[in-house]
Every structure is written in C-alpha cells, then in structure tokens.
Amino acid sequence: MAEIGRDGERLEDHEVRWRDRQALLESKGYMLRSRLHPEWVPSWTTTPRNPTACEDFEPLPLRPDLVDATRIVDNQLVYVKRVATGGEELKIAQFLNREVVRNDSHNHSVPVLEVFQDDEDPAISYLVMPFLRLMDDPPFSHVNDVLEFVDQTLEGLVFMHSQGVAHRDCARKNLMMDSSAIYPKGYHPVQLDYTPDFTARAPMIPRLGVWPPVKYYFVDYGISVRAPTGEQALVIGDLGIDQEVPELSRTVLYDPFKVDVFIIGNVFKKELCEKYTNLDFLKPLAETMTAKRPEGRPDAEDVLKQWYHLRAGISFMGRGGVLRPTNAQGSPPIIFDIIAFLRLGILLSRRMMAWTLHWLKLTCRD
C-alpha cells in the first residue's frame, strides 16, 4: 500500500522501497534525490513556489527495480538496479564487463560501475550503471545520426554474439545512449528536457556537433542467455518486448541468436525506415534481418558485412542530410537539402574544432 509522507505528499510503494535503502546507497557513495530521503519535507511547503515547479515534486517513474542516483565523488548521474544475487542477469552483465573486454571499442554492453549486496537481504544485489537515455531521445536529426546508431548497434551485436551471449530482448527500450556530450550542462533524471535543478530547459547540442560521437549501449540482460564457446544455444520462452518475433514459443526450441537479428532488424524497420522517408538504403537490410523463417536470416556477422557494403554507397552530402519525417507537411525535399547543407557546414566545423582540441590535449600530455 502506498504511504502518505509529511504534509500529505504521497510516496508510491516503489518509492518507499528505495527510500528505505537510501542510507545503504549513501554509504556506498550514491545519493538519491531529496524526495527519497527519510527526512524529506516537500520543498513547496516551505517556499511560495508552485509544487509543479519544484524538483522534488516529480515522482520516481514506475520501474520498481530501478532508481536514479548521483555518485557523490564526482556528481555523475547513475542508475542503480535491484537484481538477484548470483542471477543470470548479473552474471552476464559482469561477464561482458570483465577486464579483458571492457575497453573493446566494439563492446556496447552497458558499463558496470559497481556491484554490491543489500545489507539486510543477501539475495538482493545492486548493479550500478551510467544514467542513459533511450536511443532516440532526443530524436535523430541527420542521416549521419542513423549511420552511427546502426554502426554501433550491429558492431555491438556481433561482439555480444562472439562472447556467446544472446540478448533476446534488444528492442528499442533496451537500446540506450550516453547523452552527456549532447547535454553539456546535464539534465534532470525524470524530466529529461530540464536542467538538473529543474529551473530551465536543458541546452542541447545536435549529435552531429559532438566528438567523439555519442555511444549506444545494450541494457537489461533479464532474459539473456550465454552459450559456452563452441556450443549451440537453443531456448524456449515467449517473453520480450518485441512480440512480432515469429518463432517465440513456450514449447518449441529456437535459436536466440537469430531472434536478436530479427529484433534489431525490426528496430531498424519500425523506428527508422517507417519514420523517415530518406532511409531507403536501410530497407533491404531490415527486410533480410526480419525474414519470417530464422534460417532465412543472416547471422550478426554477415549482417554487419552487408551493412558496411550498403554504407559505402552513401555520399558525403547524403550522410549530412536532414532526416525527413514521414508525417512532415509543407516543406518540399529541396528545403531539407538546403537546411542540410547549411547545418552540415556548421556542425562539422564544431566537430573538427572538438577533435583539434582533443588532439592538442593528448599532444600536451605527451
């Protein structure tokens, strides 16, 4: 049952559970928002501000096992996830973050910053990760944004499969990005369009204007499996966000690696090809990846090879083009092309300047 906090403010059940672990998290170096502190008094009761303008008015989103926090030592925003101690989700996340592969540029598994057990229930552990945003939040704006996303997603899938791991749930909500470079002044963990102090809109830089490019990650290994090297993995089960995968079954064994190919292909199809009119180059690959019969789909490595071939045929101007939404009204294609040309020059200048500064720092360090 939900609990009524001081001055009548309501904390939901999932908030109460995290509030009761606030002291533990603080002792480990992570601070929850003031709303989740045991001694919390709603700020709007001591100031004349409207409650909706107060940072602590925003409730924790209903994701019972997930909470945002700030790492005390460097003020970095993180996610803390409640997981089963010794469970497969934790084992796979740690396996993909072991020292020998952690810094591999093709490894796009969400970084594991720390793991620690609950101080009251040893069956519960806490997995600390960087705070990430959905792959398309903010939305893609240029063709090059899509190219970067497809590059990293397929490279990450090939890497994951090379480690014997099949994700099984790599749909849009489990493909996220580190947006720290896009939001240089940060943002609020609940109201993502606002600054951390909730006083203004968070300033944003387009993806094309930052260097190095934003990085995309696979998250949530809740139903993932790991096959020993050289062994084939066959599974059963119909769980997962994408229920369009044809072979999902509670009784008939299927190949989870081919499921991953379908799910990523469906992301390309539904979230990219169907939303923008100038991504026709991606459609053949998406169709191949979402073949109804698993044996008709290429494996992840072949998908990546096909993608590199397709990508090579995209011109420089094409890469800098502004994405054209399928529901756009009024502006003819030539307008998008003019905007693309002007913005491309500005954004590439910013990226070149950022790269030069980065190079100078490295040179001075040496």
pLDDT digits (tens, 9 = 90+) for 85-115: 999 999 999 999 999 999 999 999 999 999 9
- Per the model's pLDDT, the better-predicted residue between 272 and 209 turns out to be 272
User: Which residues are within 8 A (CB) of 225 and not within 5 positions of it... i.e. 6 or more apart?
Assistant: 88, 165, 166, 168, 233, 235, 256
Q: Are residues 60 and 102 in the same domain?
A: yes
Residues 161 and 63 in one domain: no
Strands 114-117 and 133-134: unpaired
Residue 9: pLDDT over 80: no
Question: In which band, very low, low, confident or very high, does the pLDDT at 347 lie, cut at 50, 70 and 90?
Answer: low
Residue 118 tokens read as 């609950």
How far is 274 from 179, CA to CA, in rounded Å? Answer: 24
Residues 195 and 89 in one domain: no
Both tokens of residue 244?
């369009």
Residue type, 79: Y
Provide the pLDDT for residue 349.
Answer: 62
What is the rounded distance in angstroms from the CA atom of residue 233 to the CA atom of residue 237? 13
226-243 per-residue burial string, b: 16 or more CB within 10 A, e: under 16? bbeeeeebebeeeebebe
Q: Does 47 map to a domain?
A: yes
Q: Compute the mean pLDDT over every residue in the chain, rounded to the nearest whole number.
A: 90
| Residue range(s) defining the domain that contains residue 31 | 3-130
State the Cα–Cα distance between residues 213 and 226, nearest whole angstrom. Answer: 30
* Rounded Cα gap, residues 129 and 80, in angstroms: 6
Distances (CA, A) of 240 to 153, 174, 202, 338: 18, 11, 33, 42
Task: Tell me, yes or no, whether 363 lies in a domain.
Answer: no
Same domain for 205 and 274, yes or no, is yes
pLDDT at 344: 57
For residue 324, tell me if it sits in a domain.
Answer: no
Co-location of 183 and 121 in the same domain: no
149 in a structural domain: yes
Domain end point (choices 101, 130, 159): 130
Listed in order, strand segments (DSSP E) in 75-224 are: 76-84, 114-117, 124-130, 133-134, 165-166, 175-178, 215-218
Q: Do 142 and 22 have their domain in common? A: no
With respect to residue 326, please indicate whether it lies within any of the assigned structural domains.
Answer: no
Establish if 331 belongs to a structural domain.
no
The pLDDT-based confidence of 49 (bands split at 50, 70, 90) is confident
Are 194 and 124 part of one and the same domain?
A: no
Residue 217 phi/psi, 5° resolution?
A: -135, 150
210 and 242 assigned to the same domain: yes
306 secondary structure, DSSP code: H
Give the whole-number percent of the chain exceeding pLDDT 70.
87
185 and 288 part of one domain:
yes
Judge whether residue 4 has pLDDT over 60. no
Question: Is 346 part of a structural domain of the chain?
Answer: no
Question: pLDDT tens across 145-161, in order?
Answer: 999 999 999 999 999 99
SS3 (DSSP) at 160 = helix
Domain boundary residue, one of 130, 165, 198: 130
Are 120 and 229 contained in the same domain? no
pTM of the model: 0.88
Backbone angles phi, psi at 343, to 5 degrees: -70, -35
Q: What is the dihedral of CA 224, 230, 235, 238, to 10 degrees?
A: 40
Q: State whether 82 and 177 are in the same domain.
A: no
pLDDT for 81-90, tens place per residue?
Answer: 999 999 999 9
Q: Which two tokens stand for residue 270?
A: 């539904």
Distances (CA, A) of 81 to 93, 131, 170, 192, 256: 12, 11, 18, 19, 25
- Domain boundary (130, 149, 174) is at 130
Same domain for 119 and 237, yes or no, is no
Q: Please, are residues 110 and 219 in contact by the beta-carbon 8 Å criterion?
A: yes
**Is residue 365 domain-resident?**
no
pLDDT (tens digit per residue) in 260-309? 999 999 999 999 999 999 999 999 999 999 999 999 999 999 999 999 99
pLDDT at 124 over 70: yes
Per-residue confidence (pLDDT) for residue 93, from 0 to 100: 98
How many structural domains are present in the chain? 2
CATH code, domain carrying 52: 3.30.200.20
Tell me: pLDDT of 75 over 60.
Answer: yes
